[in-house]
Structure 1
Amino acid sequence: MKRTVGALILGLLTVSGCGPGAQTEPQRAPDWPDWAYGVLTPLAPGDRVAPPCPATAKPIECAYIGAPVPDDGIQRTLPGTTESFTRNEAYFDYGPADWYPGDHPPMPEVVARGKPDEGARACALCHYPNGQGKMENGHVSGLPAAYILEQLAAFESGARRSADPRKANTNEMAMIAARLTDTEKQQVAEYFSSIEFRPMVRVIESEQAPQVRTTSNGLMLPIPDAPPMPLGQRIIEVPEHPERTEFMRDPRGGFVAYVPIGSLTKGERLVTTGDGKTIQCGICHGPEQKGFGAVPGIAGRTASYTMRQLWDIQQGTRQSPQMAPVVAFLTAEDMLNIAAYIASLAP
C-alpha cells in the first residue's frame, strides 16, 4: 500500500486544473449515501428527479418549484436584530431578507437580488448574505476568491455536477454560473471570500437521531414529538432552531449532526494519517483543515455537504484531478467518518 499512497501523493501534487472531460452516469452502489443528498430512501423507479435542464432553460426552471405559499402578513424577527420580515419577504427570490446587515460588507447586486430577467435567483437566497449556507447547499464564506472563480467555471462547464439525479439545486447553480458575466463572477468571489466563515455544526455521536422530514432541496427538519429513530450507518443533520431556519432563513443558525458512535475517532485517523488508504488531508488543506493559499478550508462545514463532495468526486460527476486519487480507495463508511470528523472541527 505504501507504493499506492506514494503515487497518490505524487498525483495530487503534480496535477492541477479541472476540465470538463467526458462524463458518464455513475452506477448506484448499494451503500449510496442518500442521506447526504437530503433523502432517506434509495432512488426507485418512479421517484421524482430533478426537472429537465437544457442549455436554453432559465436557472429557476431547473429547480424544484412548489406552489406559492400564501403570505400570512405576520412580521417576524430574530434575536439580535431590529429587522422584521414576513415569511414571503424572507424568501423573496430576487431580494431575500437581510436580517443582519452588519455581518457582511455591502452586497453586490447579483448577490442581493440576482438577475430577475434571466431567472437567476439571488446568491443570498440559498447561501445567505453572509455566505454560511445550509446543509443542502454550499458554504461559500471565507473561501479563497480564486477557488470560488474556479468552481463557478466548473459549474458552467459541466465539470461539477451532482451524482444523485434528485439534487436539482446543483443544476440550478450550474445555470446561474453560466449567466454571470466575468465582472459579476469577480464581484461574487471577492465578496464571499471577504467574510469569515463561522462555526455552525454541533456533532453528537449517537445510536439514534430525530425522525425527520425533508424539503425538496434536501433540508432535514425534525418531526415534533416523534420518537427517535435508529441512526444506522448515516448522518442526520437538523437545524438547531428548525422554525428559524425553515420559515425565516436565519443566517446565524447552526446545525446538529448526529453521527455513528466511533465515527469521530475513525475519521480523525483517516484525516490525520490517511490510515493506509489515502493521504493526510492537511497536506493541502492545512494542519487544522482551515485552508492553505488557494486551497479551501473544510473544517466545520456540514457533514452532508462534505460527504456529497467526496462522493461526487469519487463517482466522477465532480471532476477534480487533485482530489480524485485521494478518494479513490475510500469506502462510503470512510467518507462518512471523514465528514463527521471534519464537521466537528473549529473552522
Structure 2
Amino acid sequence: MRTRVIVVTIGALAALWASGAAQAQRPMPPAWPYAQPQLPPGVVPDQVPAQATPPYRPPTPPDPNAPPPVLLQATGSTLRFTQEQVSNSYGPADWFPESHAPMPDIVAKGKPPGARACGLCHLPDGRGRPENAPLQGLPRDYIVQQLHDFQQGLRHSADPRKANTGEMENAAKALTDAEIQEVAGYFSSIRVPKYIRVVETGMIPTMRIQGEIYFPVGDGQQEPIGTRIIETPEDVAQTRMRNPRSGFIAYAPIGSVKRGEALATTGGGGRTTACTVCHGHGLKGLGLVPNLAGRSPSYLARQMYDIKLGTRRGAMAALMGPVVANLTDSEMVDIIAYVSSLEP
C-alpha cells in the first residue's frame, strides 16, 4: 500500500508540473481587448486575484453641517445623483428607470456579501461598458448557461491580469437557480440599442487605460491604430456617470469592415465558418445562439481569444473553437469591426 501511495503522489505531482508548464507556455492574447498594457513576447503574468467585493454599508444619514453634495445629471435624464450614488455597489443610480421593466433585487441591489448589484457594472439596462459584457437582448437560456459556466469555473480570461472575470465567477456562485432565471429573464427582455460607432483610421488619439477602459489623453497627440480596435467613450464625463445612453467610438484599421464582411458572410474560402450559419441572418441570433450585431468590439474580441486559447470552456464555447482556431489577429480584428458596425 505504501508503494502505491507514493506512485499516486508522484503521478499527481507530475500532472501538476505539466499543468504549470502548459500555463507558462500558453500564448497571451493581444492586450488591447482586455485594456491592459502590452507585454513583451513570451511573457505570461501571474493570475491576479478576483476583485474584492466591497462590504455592504447602510446609507449614513446626511450631516446637516456639511456642505450640500455635488449633484450630477446625465444627459437626457431628469434625475440627479451624487458620484457616490452613481458608484454605489449595492444600489447604483438608475438614470432612466422608465426605459426598462422593474429591476429584480439582484440587479438593483445585489446580494451581499458575495455579489454586487448587476446594474453597477452592466448598468441597469444591461448595456454594459467595454470592460464587461453587454447583456441586454441576449437569449434567456444563453445567459443562464453562462452563469452556470461561471459557477463551474469554466470561464476564465486569457489575460490573467483581468480581475473582474474572477469577480464574476464569485458573484455567479452567490446566486440561486431562481435568481439566475430572474436575472436572465430581465436582461434578455431589453432591446439592444445602437451604441457603437465604428471609425476606420490609421491614427487614433493617444490613449491611457483606466478601469480597463481606453480614455483619450487629450493632449492632441496621436498613435498608430496597428492591428487593434480601440473602443473609447464618445463623452468621457457621461461614461464616468455610467450614462447608458452615451455611446462609444470603435477605432478600427482602414478597410477592416469590408474585409470582415467577406470573412463573416462567406468564411473566407475555408479560413473560418461563416458567422451567419449559427448566429443567423444579420447576426441577430438564432435560438440559443446569441445575437452579435452592434455589440462591444472589446467584449467580442475577448470572447474570441478566450475561446481560441482555451480559457473559456463551456458547452457553447466548444462549438466556437474550430471557428476561431485558424484566424490570425488581423482577421479577428476585421471580423469584429464588421460585426460591431452592424445594426443590432
Aligned pairs for 1:161-200 (under 5 A) are 161-200=156-195
List per-residue Cα deviations over 1:270-322 (Å, max 9, x = no partner): 10001021111001101100101111100101111111100000000011111
Query: What CA distance in whole angstroms lies between the structure 2 residues aligned with 1:74 and 1:224?
Result: 25
1:284 paired residue number: 278
Match of 2:166, SS?
helix
Preserved contact between residue 49 and residue 168 of structure 1 (Cα < 8 Å): no
List per-residue Cα deviations over 1:35-84 (Å, max 9, x = no partner): 0001242269999866435xxxx9627xxxxxxxxx99210102222110
Preserved contact between residue 30 and residue 38 of structure 2 (Cα < 8 Å): no
What is the CA RMSD across the aligned residues, in angstroms? 2.3
1:120 paired residue number: 115
Change (3 A) 1:261 1:44: closer
Preserved contact between residue 49 and residue 166 of structure 2 (Cα < 8 Å): no
Preserved contact between residue 138 and residue 305 of structure 1 (Cα < 8 Å): yes
Preserved contact between residue 212 and residue 222 of structure 1 (Cα < 8 Å): yes
2:216 paired residue number: 222
| Correspondent of 1:25 among 23, 26, 30 | 23
Match of 1:78, SS?
coil
Match of 1:325, SS?
helix
Q: Does 1:341 align with 2:334?
A: no
Preserved contact between residue 27 and residue 309 of structure 2 (Cα < 8 Å): no
2:3 paired residue number: none
Aligned pairs for 1:193-208 (under 5 A) are 193-208=188-203
Identical residues among aligned pairs (%)? 47
1:103 paired residue number: 99
1:256 paired residue number: 249
1:140 paired residue number: 135
Change (3 A) 1:328 1:47: closer
The alignment of Structure 1 onto Structure 2 pairs a total of residues equal to 309
Query: What CA distance in whole angstroms lies between the structure 2 residues aligned with 1:60 and 1:45?
Result: 32
Change (3 A) 1:272 1:47: closer
Query: What CA distance in whole angstroms lies between the structure 2 residues aligned with 1:52 and 1:243?
Result: 29
Per the TM alignment, residue 28 of structure 1 is displaced from its structure 2 partner at its CA by: 5.1
Q: Indicate the structure whose relative CO is greater, using CA pairs within 8 Å and at least 6 residues apart.
A: 1
Return 5+ residue gaps in structure 1 as ranges: 1-21, 62-70
Query: What CA distance in whole angstroms lies between the structure 2 residues aligned with 1:149 and 1:255?
Result: 27
Question: How high is the TM-score relative to the length of structure 1?
Answer: 0.84
Match of 2:311, SS?
coil
